[in-house]
Amino acid sequence: MRLAITERFEIVEKEIGFTERFYITKYFKDIFDKLGINLIPVFTENNMEEIEKICDGLIITGSNIDINPKYYGEKNNDEKNNIIDEFAIDKKLIEMFYQNNKPILGICGGMQSINVCFGGSLYQDIEGHNLENQFHDIILQEKSFLYEVYNINKISVNSFHHQAIKDTANGFKITAKSEDNIIEAIEKDNIVGVQWHPEKMKDILFFEKFIEKYF
């Protein structure tokens, strides 16, 4: 099995020499090595059609760069959003894999990309969720993929985001919320988005169940 996965751009200010790079975190490599699944990194709009043809599904990862609010009809208040338009790549990938009925998993900013791609919007800034090495509880909805994974109503997850879904895209079901009412997961058909980072939690069960259910 092959899964396309988005690489993300960052500027490493303290590093001498190569200060701009695209990356995938080691967490993803470790998990999918254990699952015996090959990851095909994507960081350009070139040859996307070929990538879609050879891949069975898509992972949209989190990002340090916010989606430019122009994509959901709001003013851009942060010049950092103009460094590189990662959402343009996300959007094209999501549309291609969706049109070909291939599973899509969005993680953190990846869930936000899915929501905006299908017509939803975001809160541009929230408080209390961009926390290093801290966890908070979320409530899972029954009859959802997440409930199938954990078989309980409440789990504890990590939190590394300052934006969140505001208006949910049409057709998507909200399947988890935090106790302060932030949307933590959405689902539609064979698309799942989660706001936390299961890869950093080394939650291989989450990824195993996603593969079992949708492939």
- Residue tagged active-site, from 55, 108, 184, 187: 108
Beta bridge partners of 15: none
Active site residue 197: yes
Residue type, 115: N
- Residue tagged active-site, from 52, 184, 187, 199: 199
Beta bridge partners of 5: 41, 59
Q: Are the beta carbons of 59 and 210 closer than 8 angstroms?
A: no
Distance set, CA 212 to CA 5, 20, 99 (Å)? 18, 37, 21
Distance set, CA 10 to CA 21, 33, 62, 63, 88 (Å)? 6, 24, 12, 9, 17
Active site residue 108: yes
How far is Cα 210 from Cα 187, in angstroms, rounded to an integer?
12
Distance set, CA 104 to CA 101, 127, 187, 196 (Å)? 9, 28, 10, 16
- Residue tagged active-site, from 55, 117, 129, 197: 197
How far is Cα 83 from Cα 11, in angstroms, rounded to an integer?
10
Which sequence positions are flagged as catalytic?
108, 197, 199
